[in-house]
Chain A
Amino acid sequence: MSLLELNAVNKIYNPGSTHAVHAVQNLDLSVEKGEIVALLGSSGCGKTSTLRMIAGFEEASSGQMAINGKEINRLPPAKRGVAMAFEGYSLYPPLSIRENIAFALKAEKMPAAEVNKQVEAIAALLEISDLLDKRPNAISGGQQQRASLGRALIRKADLHVLDEPMGQLEPQLRALLRGRIKHYIKQHNLTAILVTHDQTEANALADRIAVMEGGVLQQFDTPENLKNKPANIFTGAFIGEPPMNLFEAGAALNDTEIHLRLGDDVNLEFPKARFSPELIERVLTNKSVVVGIRPHSVHLAETGLPAEVYANQWLGDQTHVAARFAGKSIVSVAHDRVRCGPGEQVNVQINPEDLHIFDPATGAALSHGRVLA
């Protein structure tokens, strides 16, 4: 039994009217105990509606939602065993930050000394120790967000529901706090579901990510699988920074090689033996395909296919090189510094194991590397 289970959940706003919006469509989702799950997507994708249904701020139009096997559809928010940090679910203005964070623990009749100890610990973790005696309106938005996160994380609950928990955090604190928060959640064996539009945050924190678009779950998988085995063009292009290079291509085969023709002038040739026979058949029956290559898999080498550089940007810990290729642009990312300037010719190498091939009609992935999707 999963800790949280959503079964064919729908959310329709203004049902039956001319401006009905089907915000969440037939969503199946399960979260295991001790897991961190992120709902990721751009605005309007349905992630926040989903979170609000789980928390009890919205009613599901249809479908079942259960926590520990018990249906929660009709339970009020307070009865669901859920601790929340929501943007609109703000701190109590008349209480100090300390009182805000301690509120739920006091209600549980925890001894004052223990409450204090736990509040101090979570405040230190979130770098708000020196703000504990201030009122919410005396601190910045980013600090309020941390306080609200602390108030949720300190509670004992079956499920922690976090809405854009780090959206307003000061950039210098983000990487450190992500590490600390993940450690805290794992150490306390909490189960958390969080909503974010920031894939960096989702990748850093979550064990599994549910990618949503247009109210539809696109893929629910580990960060690694989202990167290496995107289910469709949408996920492939959405996950990864810089985004995946995508090219329309024609596939053909001769006795020894498989050919992928990109644009008018680029021919990618790979020995047949590098792919499984099923893959070759599947790709060739499609003839026209979409080829995706992650920027980190585009190698600039001594030999390869020619491309003309138009930008070379060093960002301290990585270099982005953009070049004209197959009538479009191709981006290559290296961890080290790359020496080539605008106007220079470079050679692009792409390995067969780094190819993602998609069906242009449905967008579904056909293959990843040498194997079928």
Chain B
Amino acid sequence: MSYLDLSNIRKSFESETVLDGISLTVPEGGTLVLFGKSGAGKTVLLRTIAGAIDPDGGTVAIGGQDMTSVPPEHRGIGMAFQNFALFPHMSAFDNIASSLTSRRMSASEIKRKVQDVAELLKIDHVLTHTPKALSNGQKQRTALARALVSEPKVLLLDDPLRNVDAKLRFEMRLELPRLLADRGATVVYVTQDYKEAMALGERIAVLDQGKIVQIGSPEDIYKRPANTEIAQLFGDPTVNLLDVVPQEDERGLHAFLSDQRVDFHGDFPGVAGRDCIVGLRPEALSFTQNGGFPVTIEAITPFNEKTVTLVTTLRGREILVSQPAQSAVPEGPEQNITISAQDAILFDRQTGKRLEPVTTGERVEEAA
């Protein structure tokens, strides 16, 4: 059952449309990630849910109740921001307790609640410090503690890991889902980092120019991106996008990349002969001794535990190939690569949109 329910939210500033009819739902205790480039409308949407911005149209319902005209403090919402927004003159303890003081609660109860959440977030040893004496990681945890301590039903997190270092960001990315699940809050999480989005979101809503352009599981978005732009935003190294004009024969729709035939399974009426783009993830390509098609290695760039190789085809098209580091890059510049065909994604070149088969045909979907 949905707990947070947004229906046709619209908002313009001056003549600029920032939110253009946003509808989405989040189930109770679920996490939805809002992903998009800066300016996509993520933060405005978050502030609209919080009640800090009044929408021009549409409704915000929480727990089945229309909250659109309810003031922010009565919506039962907790928030944390990327810039932490801590009170500089107050200790970490007082910062966290500040979200409890408006309620009638005894001092000992406040103390207990702050202590509990601080232990959970491993900041109980710095509660007497003012923000100036805290590291960025501790500030971020303090801000999160302040959002969590009042046990909000809805938690809005605006890119909370943006300003912490890579190591802590990684640790928090692993810990956050468990922590949020334990508190039982319904969460909307804004980020510009695709890895964070995939790691945290049961569902990810991709925003672009005030509209939701795709909403789905990490697997939906990575394997079946709605358009070439989304395909490029998810994945590092970036997806290879190559122009093709698919043809059809008795074996179905296919395209040739140099000598290799790539089949697209299922029915694609009217696609044969159309200008298309095929999207190939770098990890869907590999070097081979037999078959495939010839390429020239331009540069080998190790990438963590992967080796990313830039190659060019005979026609001069550039392709990035990514392999586990332990599988050796073959010696010498002239090599062959092969494509794992079930990973090819087909897009219309004119619109950039992904082309979907009318029937799934023999395409075998991986079990979720």
Are A and B a genuine interacting pair, yes or no? yes
- A-side residues, CB < 8 A to B, are 42, 171-176, 178-180, 182-183, 186, 200, 203-205, 223-224, 240-243, 294, 296, 310-311, 313-318, 320, 322, 329, 331, 333, 335, 342
Which parts of B26-82 form the interface with A (CB within 8 Å)?
Answer: none
A223-B302, A317-B283 are known; give 13 further A-B pairs, CB within 8 A: A171-B236, A172-B238, A175-B237, A175-B301, A175-B308, A180-B318, A243-B170, A310-B175, A310-B178, A311-B174, A316-B222, A317-B235, A342-B177
A-side contacts of B235, CB under 8 Å: 316-317
Is the Cβ of A242 less than 8 Å from the Cβ of B170? yes
A171 contacts across to B, CB distance below 8 A: 236, 238
In the assembly, what is the distance between CA of A322 and CA of B178, in Å? Answer: 11
Do residues A313 and B301 form an inter-chain contact, with CB atoms below 8 A? no
Contacting residue for B302 out of A42, A173, A224, A243, CB 8 A: A224
Q: Which residue of B lies closest to A199 (CB)?
A: B304
Complex CA gap A357/B174 in Å reads 26
Please give the distance in Å from B213's CB to the nearest CB on chain A: 16
Q: Is the CB of A311 within 8 A of B236?
A: no
A-B contact pairs, 10 of them (CB 8 A): A176-B310, A182-B300, A182-B301, A203-B301, A203-B302, A311-B199, A313-B177, A317-B282, A331-B174, A342-B178
Instruction: Give 7 closest A-B pairs by Cβ, nearest first.
Output: A179-B310, A175-B237, A204-B301, A313-B199, A182-B299, A183-B299, A179-B299
| Residue positions of B touching A, CB distance < 8 A | 165-167, 170-171, 173-175, 177-178, 181, 195, 198-199, 218-219, 222, 232-238, 281-283, 298-306, 308-310, 318, 320, 322, 324-325
Selected contact of B198 from candidates A310, A313, A333, CB within 8 Å:
A313
CB distance from A224 to the nearest CB of B (A): 7
Residues on A with C-beta less than 8 A from B167 are 243
Q: With a CB–CB cut-off of 8 A, which chain A residues contact B178?
A: 310-311, 342
Q: Are A183 and B310 in contact (CB under 8 A)?
A: yes
Closest chain A residue to B181, Cβ basis: A342
- Complex: how many Å from CA A335 to CA B305? 9
A180–B305 CB distance below 8 A = no
Q: Is the CB of A178 within 8 A of B198?
A: no
Chain B residue at minimum C-beta to C-beta distance from A294: B305
Of the candidates B218, B238, B283, B304, the one whose C-beta lies within 8 Å of that of A203 is B304
CA distance in complex: A240, B306 (Å):
11
Q: Would B302 and A180 count as touching, CB distance under 8 A? A: no
Are A179 and B175 in contact, with the CB atoms below 8 A? no
C-alpha spacing A264/B183, complex, angstroms:
29
A315–B199 CB distance below 8 A? yes
Say which residue of B174, B198, B318, B325 sits within 8 Å of A316 (CB atoms).
Answer: B198
A335 and B195 alpha carbons, distance in the complex (Å) = 15
A313-B174, A315-B198 given; A172·B302 CB < 8 A: no
